[in-house]
Protein backbone atom coordinates (compact mmCIF):
# COMPACT_ATOMS: atom_id res chain seq x y z
CA UNK A 1 0.00 0.00 0.00
CA UNK A 2 1.45 3.38 -0.97
CA UNK A 3 0.65 6.65 0.73
CA UNK A 4 -1.28 6.81 3.95
CA UNK A 5 -4.90 5.93 4.42
CA UNK A 6 -7.27 8.37 6.03
CA UNK A 7 -9.84 7.80 8.75
CA UNK A 8 -13.38 9.15 8.61
CA UNK A 9 -12.27 12.57 9.96
CA UNK A 10 -9.63 12.91 7.24
CA UNK A 11 -6.67 12.37 9.56
CA UNK A 12 -3.87 10.08 8.51
CA UNK A 13 -4.57 6.62 9.91
CA UNK A 14 -1.96 4.98 12.14
CA UNK A 15 -0.85 1.46 11.21
CA UNK A 16 -0.21 -1.17 13.87
CA UNK A 17 3.59 -0.92 13.70
CA UNK A 18 3.46 2.85 13.99
CA UNK A 19 1.12 2.60 16.96
CA UNK A 20 3.57 0.28 18.76
CA UNK A 21 6.45 2.67 18.08
CA UNK A 22 4.41 5.57 19.42
CA UNK A 23 3.38 3.54 22.47
CA UNK A 24 6.99 2.50 23.15
CA UNK A 25 8.21 6.09 22.78
CA UNK A 26 5.55 7.29 25.23
CA UNK A 27 6.33 4.47 27.67
CA UNK A 28 10.04 5.33 27.51
CA UNK A 29 9.18 8.98 28.15
CA UNK A 30 7.07 8.04 31.18
CA UNK A 31 9.92 5.80 32.42
CA UNK A 32 12.31 8.74 32.19
CA UNK A 33 9.83 10.90 34.07
CA UNK A 34 9.50 8.20 36.75
CA UNK A 35 13.28 7.96 37.11
CA UNK A 36 13.63 11.73 37.43
CA UNK A 37 10.87 11.96 40.05
CA UNK A 38 11.34 8.75 42.02
CA UNK A 39 14.82 7.52 41.21
CA UNK A 40 15.88 3.98 40.33
CA UNK A 41 14.96 2.09 43.48
CA UNK A 42 14.50 -1.63 42.58
CA UNK A 43 11.70 -1.93 45.13
CA UNK A 44 9.68 0.58 43.12
CA UNK A 45 9.84 -1.35 39.83
CA UNK A 46 6.42 -3.06 40.18
CA UNK A 47 4.71 0.25 40.95
CA UNK A 48 6.68 1.94 38.17
CA UNK A 49 5.61 -0.72 35.65
CA UNK A 50 1.94 -0.29 36.56
CA UNK A 51 2.19 3.51 36.50
CA UNK A 52 4.02 3.56 33.16
CA UNK A 53 1.59 1.10 31.54
CA UNK A 54 -1.42 3.05 32.83
CA UNK A 55 0.02 6.40 31.77
CA UNK A 56 0.87 5.07 28.31
CA UNK A 57 -2.58 3.53 27.81
CA UNK A 58 -4.26 6.72 29.02
CA UNK A 59 -2.12 8.95 26.82
CA UNK A 60 -2.92 6.87 23.75
CA UNK A 61 -6.64 7.29 24.42
CA UNK A 62 -6.61 10.97 25.44
CA UNK A 63 -3.89 12.24 23.08
CA UNK A 64 -4.54 10.45 19.84
CA UNK A 65 -1.44 9.32 17.98
CA UNK A 66 -0.74 11.12 14.75
CA UNK A 67 1.24 10.08 11.72
CA UNK A 68 2.42 13.64 11.16
CA UNK A 69 6.03 14.54 11.75
CA UNK A 70 6.85 17.19 14.30
CA UNK A 71 9.26 19.87 13.15
CA UNK A 72 11.81 20.72 15.84
CA UNK A 73 12.63 23.99 14.06
CA UNK A 74 8.93 24.96 13.95
CA UNK A 75 8.51 23.99 17.62
CA UNK A 76 11.50 26.18 18.53
CA UNK A 77 10.02 29.05 16.52
CA UNK A 78 6.67 28.57 18.28
CA UNK A 79 8.43 28.68 21.66
CA UNK A 80 10.30 31.85 20.70
CA UNK A 81 7.13 33.48 19.35
CA UNK A 82 5.30 32.56 22.55
CA UNK A 83 8.16 33.94 24.66
CA UNK A 84 8.24 37.15 22.61
CA UNK A 85 4.46 37.67 22.86
CA UNK A 86 4.54 36.86 26.57
CA UNK A 87 7.24 39.43 27.27
CA UNK A 88 5.70 42.16 25.12
CA UNK A 89 2.20 41.52 26.46
CA UNK A 90 3.46 41.23 30.04
CA UNK A 91 5.20 44.60 29.81
CA UNK A 92 2.05 46.09 28.26
CA UNK A 93 -0.21 44.70 30.99
CA UNK A 94 2.20 45.84 33.73
CA UNK A 95 2.36 49.31 32.19
CA UNK A 96 -1.42 49.55 32.08
CA UNK A 97 -1.74 48.31 35.66
CA UNK A 98 0.78 50.85 36.94
CA UNK A 99 -0.49 53.76 34.82
CA UNK A 100 -2.39 56.36 36.91
CA UNK A 101 -5.38 56.38 34.54
CA UNK A 102 -5.33 52.61 33.91
CA UNK A 103 -5.76 52.81 30.11
CA UNK A 104 -7.86 49.72 29.49
CA UNK A 105 -10.33 49.05 26.71
CA UNK A 106 -11.68 45.66 27.81
CA UNK A 107 -14.00 43.68 25.67
CA UNK A 108 -14.48 40.53 23.66
CA UNK A 109 -13.23 39.49 20.24
CA UNK A 110 -14.29 36.45 18.24
CA UNK A 111 -11.45 34.55 16.59
CA UNK A 112 -12.31 32.29 13.61
CA UNK A 113 -9.91 29.42 14.26
CA UNK A 114 -9.06 27.13 11.35
CA UNK A 115 -8.29 24.28 13.73
CA UNK A 116 -10.80 21.48 14.12
CA UNK A 117 -12.77 21.34 17.34
CA UNK A 118 -11.44 19.02 19.98
CA UNK A 119 -7.82 18.38 20.86
CA UNK A 120 -6.32 20.78 18.32
CA UNK A 121 -8.48 23.72 19.32
CA UNK A 122 -7.96 22.88 22.99
CA UNK A 123 -4.16 22.98 22.53
CA UNK A 124 -4.51 26.36 20.81
CA UNK A 125 -6.74 27.88 23.50
CA UNK A 126 -4.46 26.52 26.22
CA UNK A 127 -1.44 28.10 24.52
CA UNK A 128 -3.18 31.45 24.06
CA UNK A 129 -4.58 31.47 27.59
CA UNK A 130 -0.99 31.78 28.82
CA UNK A 131 -0.49 35.09 27.01
CA UNK A 132 -1.13 38.14 29.21
CA UNK A 133 -4.13 40.26 28.31
CA UNK A 134 -6.24 37.59 26.57
CA UNK A 135 -8.30 34.76 27.98
CA UNK A 136 -10.41 32.31 25.99
CA UNK A 137 -13.95 32.80 27.26
CA UNK A 138 -16.03 30.39 25.22
CA UNK A 139 -17.30 29.73 21.76
CA UNK A 140 -19.89 31.50 19.65
CA UNK A 141 -20.98 30.67 16.10
CA UNK A 142 -17.89 28.52 15.53
CA UNK A 143 -15.51 31.25 16.73
CA UNK A 144 -13.38 31.22 19.88
CA UNK A 145 -14.35 34.18 22.04
CA UNK A 146 -11.52 35.92 23.89
CA UNK A 147 -11.77 38.46 26.66
CA UNK A 148 -9.11 41.13 26.11
CA UNK A 149 -7.78 43.95 28.25
CA UNK A 150 -7.51 46.15 25.17
CA UNK A 151 -9.60 45.42 22.08
CA UNK A 152 -7.88 48.28 20.21
CA UNK A 153 -4.71 46.14 20.00
CA UNK A 154 -4.19 43.74 17.03
CA UNK A 155 -5.44 40.76 19.06
CA UNK A 156 -6.84 38.85 16.07
CA UNK A 157 -3.56 39.25 14.15
CA UNK A 158 -1.58 37.99 17.16
CA UNK A 159 -3.92 35.00 17.54
CA UNK A 160 -3.58 34.21 13.83
CA UNK A 161 0.23 34.30 14.14
CA UNK A 162 0.10 31.96 17.16
CA UNK A 163 -2.24 29.58 15.35
CA UNK A 164 -0.06 29.51 12.23
CA UNK A 165 3.04 28.81 14.34
CA UNK A 166 1.22 26.04 16.20
CA UNK A 167 0.10 24.43 12.94
CA UNK A 168 3.65 24.54 11.54
CA UNK A 169 5.07 23.09 14.77
CA UNK A 170 2.61 20.32 15.54
CA UNK A 171 0.11 19.64 12.80
CA UNK A 172 1.97 19.17 9.53
CA UNK A 173 -0.19 16.26 8.37
pLDDT of 140 reads 93
Give tens-digit pLDDT for 122-173. 889 988 888 778 899 999 999 999 999 889 989 999 899 889 988 888 776 5
The pTM of the full predicted model, rounded to 2 decimals, is: 0.58
First and final CA of the chain: distance in angstroms?
18
The residue among 8 and 37 whose pLDDT is bigger is: 37
Mean pLDDT value across residues 42-67 = 88
Residue 6 has pLDDT above 60, yes or no: no
CA distance 125 to 108: 15
Query: Would you kindly state where each structural domain of the chain is located, as residue ranges?
Result: 16-62, 72-170
User: Helix, strand, coil proportions of the chain in percent (round to 5)?
Assistant: 55, 15, 30
103's CB contacts (< 8 A; 6+ apart) are 96, 150
The residue among 103 and 34 whose pLDDT is bigger is: 34
Partner residues linked to 144 by β-bridges: 111, 139
pLDDT of 46 reads 95
Element at 94 (helix H, strand E): helix 72-98
Q: What's the gap between Cα 9 and its chain centre?
A: 20
Give tens-digit pLDDT for 65-102. 765 666 778 888 888 988 888 888 888 888 878 888 87
Amino acid sequence: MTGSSRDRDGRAAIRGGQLWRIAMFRAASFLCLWLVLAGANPGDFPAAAVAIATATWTSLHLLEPSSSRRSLVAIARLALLFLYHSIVAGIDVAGRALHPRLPLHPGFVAYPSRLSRGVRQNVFTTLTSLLPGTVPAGEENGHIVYHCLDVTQPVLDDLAAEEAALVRALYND
